[in-house]
Amino acid sequence: MLRALDRKLFRDLWAVRGQVIAISCVLAGGIATYVMSASTLESLQQTQSRMYREFRFPELFAGLKQAPLSVATRVAAVPGIAAVEARVVAPANIELAGYGQPVSGQVVGLPLGAGRFNLLHLHAGRMPEPGRDKEALVSDGFAKAHQLQPGFELAVTINGRKQRLVVVGVASSPEFTYQLAPGSIVPDFKTYCILWMNAAPLEGSFNMTGAFNQLAASLERGARVEDAVQAVDAILRTYGGLGAHGRKDQISHRFLAEEFKQLEMMATLFPAIFLSVAGFLLNVVVGRLMATQRGQIATLKAFGYTTGAIVWHFVKFTAVIVTIGTLLGIAGGAWMGSGMSRLYMDVYRFPYLEYSIGGGVVAMSFAVSLAAAGVGTLFSVLKSAAESPAVAMQPANPGKYRRSFLEMPWFSQPSRMIVRNLERRPVKSLLSIGGVAMSTAILILGGFWGDAVDYMVFAQLRRAQLDDLTVTFFTPVSTRGLHSLRSLPGVTYAEPTRSVAARFRFAQRTYRTALQGMEPEGQLRRLLDAKLGRVELPPEGILLTDHLATMLGVKPGDTVTVELLEGSRAVRQVAVAGVVSEYIGVTAYMRRDALNRFLREGDVATGAYLAVDPPAMPELYQRLKRVPAVAGVAARAQALKSFYETLAAQMLTFAFFNTLLASTIAIGVVYNTVRISLSERGRELASLRVLGYTRGEVSYILLGELTVLVFLAIPVGLVMGHGLAYFMAMSAQTELFRIPFVVRPSTYAMAALVVALATAGSAFLVGRKINHLDLVEVLKARE
């Protein structure tokens, strides 16, 4: 019985194929962003937990100055701690034949035999053999960046002593999935590297034989991290303990956790926008279909079809669109997701990443698109299907209109028609405006990321950090030593700095970070407020990164407890003089002389900022490498370049998808709106053509309505985009980084332009249909 009806179904679908495609695409956009984010999230989380198990990621971490190995045994005896592994990790400078830039890194001592924690994944080569002092493994990111193969030789300076190491393998480890050089913004695999070598020779070079400076532990089931941290801190205090912490403060783990949060938001916010627009479009199209088929439905019922059969018929109509959209979306999401995973693999050095789409994600995709479609259509389908055939058979009356308060006496009749049509369907008009506004907002969001990054780069590297090179020392150095730096070739200016680990406490809250001693009128490093104005360092007291102040809940004028974790280990109440605006990490600042007094030390520094004549740079690198006190050298220009390179690639991809998705919504909404108007009013417009109206004049009525909608939608969209960007900026505020809320005027203009172009494109498509209105056909039959 339904065979004929099914044929009708496909003909109906074919008749509105343009709209079927438009709605499917909007639906697909929502499903694609969901599938992309959800599947990437799921894959990353699965990979993470598998990797943590397989490579034994510890649960407790502690750094310290130095302690004999017997201390590790004492830690192992702490209740709640299951197993402990102690090791030596040393900072190093690395020279690579044929690469002129400074490369810094860490050398990790490998325990004899099988290690307990942080097992390595070998990408190539082999492990260093026991007793071979000159063999080392390099991190895979570094190996890839420089195309290093096993057999390659590196000159590695540890503790001022240069030695040649042979690369025997390429490895990765869960503790180094995110490799951020101290003070840098994004991982730079060209200038930062992790090396692993046998423990004995490393301990020898670092004067740490029989001792350790890092400790990892696992916990017994049910043990609390906080308790273990306290107990371990108590033991390590006398050995220069830098404070133990759980996974949550481990840098790789923390960055991944942040990333997961972002993905979760992406998996809800964007799909919600797209699906609500798709639901609206389906509502409009199915509503129109029900109206045109009113007579047909009545006839079918007159011949004995049940209401249920009719409802089922239109449910199938919707289901076809939902299926097309969802399948398209899943395919698109899989494609984007695998691309996104590759992007993650570039930044996060997982030993492997198995990208897959779980059955749950697929089921969820269908469930949410069906839900959106159901909400959008079910009401009008049920209502029409239940209508009494006798009523439905009667011809529909002309639509009920009324004069609009918006119209002016001098309006031409076509202009009146535009205004009255908009006003007759206020909900539909508002939803159309909402849809177009959403797409404008999404476009602004895309532009916002670029604006924010540009602003960060500008603020950080052109206003705050003006040094060409940052030098760090192994141990605090008297500032007299700075004279020797100043006399190096090309150095035009040098500014000392003193950094010390400290714990900050206010009320119940504590936070561990660096307390940085700065020169009062520093030329190379400046502390800035949110408007990029300079913030002066007070003679006493501290300045906090704004986010640190928020986390601690302090405001300028409050007093915080500062506990130094090195040197004097003094504890003191210090006044918070103000906050500074920074985008990466959180730090507290103090005048260097005040900090040195706090530490009960003389005029010393742990590093220096240098201004350098660019031509002298290569020679200066060579000379700096030979200065024994220098632990590391970082170049600003290099950081800037790599930052731009990494981000530019990601931004471009993001902007592309973003524009694509936003245009899908804009075109979907606009095309459907006009298409429906045309179908509702084709007869009316054809009548006008019969009366002598030209094509242009008839197009004006139809497209004028659209133009009014879009003109109203764009400002709404600009405001919404502003809000959405603000929301994104606020929800991305973490201790690791913040995104400034900056949207350039050009971004707003661009969003408006893209929407206008999408509108013009859809108008063009429908405009061609106006030209082909069949005048005779339209007059023949009553609708």
Interface residues with another protein (CB under 8 A) are 397-403, 412-414, 416-417, 420-421, 424, 683-684, 687-695, 697, 775-776, 779-780, 782
Distance in Å, CB of 304 to another protein, minimum: 30
Select 413 or 475, whichever has its Cβ closest to another protein.
413
Select 474 or 693, whichever has its Cβ closest to another protein.
693
Select 114 or 691, whichever has its Cβ closest to another protein.
691
Distance in Å, CB of 710 to another protein, minimum: 20
Rounded Cα–Cα distance for residues 108 and 120 (Å): 12
Select 258 or 680, whichever has its Cβ closest to another protein.
680
Distance in Å, CB of 397 to another protein, minimum: 6
Select 151 or 409, whichever has its Cβ closest to another protein.
409
Select 768 or 782, whichever has its Cβ closest to another protein.
782
Rounded Cα–Cα distance for residues 255 and 584 (Å): 12
Give how far Cα 642 sits from Cα of 38, 341, 611, Å. 29, 21, 20
Rounded Cα–Cα distance for residues 616 and 186 (Å): 27
DSSP annotation string for 149-196: -TT-EEEEEETTEEEEEEEEEEEE-GGGSS---TT-SS--TTTEEEEE
Rounded Cα–Cα distance for residues 177 and 175 (Å): 6
In this structure, the chain runs to a length of: 783
Distance in Å, CB of 418 to another protein, minimum: 9
Distance in Å, CB of 714 to another protein, minimum: 25
Rounded Cα–Cα distance for residues 110 and 168 (Å): 14
Distance in Å, CB of 12 to another protein, minimum: 23
Distance in Å, CB of 703 to another protein, minimum: 16
Distance in Å, CB of 771 to another protein, minimum: 9
Q: Which uninterrupted H or E stretch holds 658?
A: helix 636-690
In the 8-state DSSP scheme, what is residue 599? T
Select 422 or 579, whichever has its Cβ closest to another protein.
422
Select 134 or 425, whichever has its Cβ closest to another protein.
425
- Token digits of residue 742: 């900056």
Residue ranges of the alpha helices (H) in 348-425?
359-386, 389-393, 413-424
Distance in Å, CB of 268 to another protein, minimum: 41
Maximal CA-CA distance, the chain: 103
Calculate helix-pair angle for 307-347, 2-15, nearest 10 degrees: 50
Select 546 or 705, whichever has its Cβ closest to another protein.
705
Distance in Å, CB of 420 to another protein, minimum: 4
Distance in Å, CB of 412 to another protein, minimum: 6
Contact 712, 431 (CB under 8 A): no
Select 151 or 398, whichever has its Cβ closest to another protein.
398
Give how far Cα 576 sits from Cα of 331, 381, 580, 648, Å. 54, 65, 11, 38
Distance in Å, CB of 684 to another protein, minimum: 5
Contact 121, 47 (CB under 8 A): no
Select 99 or 401, whichever has its Cβ closest to another protein.
401
Distance in Å, CB of 685 to another protein, minimum: 9
CA-closest candidate to residue 494, choices 483, 508, 503, 507:
483
CA-closest candidate to residue 674, choices 697, 708, 715:
708
Distance in Å, CB of 301 to another protein, minimum: 25
Rg (Cα) of the chain, in Å, rounded?
A: 33
Select 97 or 776, whichever has its Cβ closest to another protein.
776
Q: C-alpha angle 160/162/168, rounded to 5°?
A: 130
Distance in Å, CB of 712 to another protein, minimum: 19
Contact 751, 717 (CB under 8 A): yes
Provide the CB-side half-sphere exposure for 539 (13 A, CA).
Answer: 0
Partners of residue 725 on adjacent β-strands: none
Distance in Å, CB of 410 to another protein, minimum: 12
Select 614 or 692, whichever has its Cβ closest to another protein.
692
Q: Which uninterrupted H or E stretch holds 102?
A: strand 99-110
CA dihedral 531, 533, 539, 545 (to 10 degrees): 30
Rounded Cα–Cα distance for residues 421 and 172 (Å): 65
Distance in Å, CB of 772 to another protein, minimum: 11
Q: Which residues contact 768 (CB under 8 A, 6 or more apart)?
A: none
Give how far Cα 579 sits from Cα of 222, 486, 510, 527, 546, Å. 40, 32, 17, 9, 5
Chain position carrying tokens 């490799």: 179
Calculate helix-pair angle for 17-54, 636-690, nearest 10 degrees: 160
DSSP annotation string for 458-512: HIIIIIIB--SEEEEEEEEEETHHHHHHHTSTTEEEEEEEEEEEEEEEETTEEEE
Select 388 or 397, whichever has its Cβ closest to another protein.
397
Distance in Å, CB of 781 to another protein, minimum: 8
Select 81 or 418, whichever has its Cβ closest to another protein.
418
Select 312 or 693, whichever has its Cβ closest to another protein.
693
Select 50 or 416, whichever has its Cβ closest to another protein.
416
Select 665 or 685, whichever has its Cβ closest to another protein.
685
Rounded Cα–Cα distance for residues 394 and 771 (Å): 31
Contact 26, 665 (CB under 8 A): yes
Partners of residue 51 on adjacent β-strands: none
Rounded Cα–Cα distance for residues 138 and 150 (Å): 9
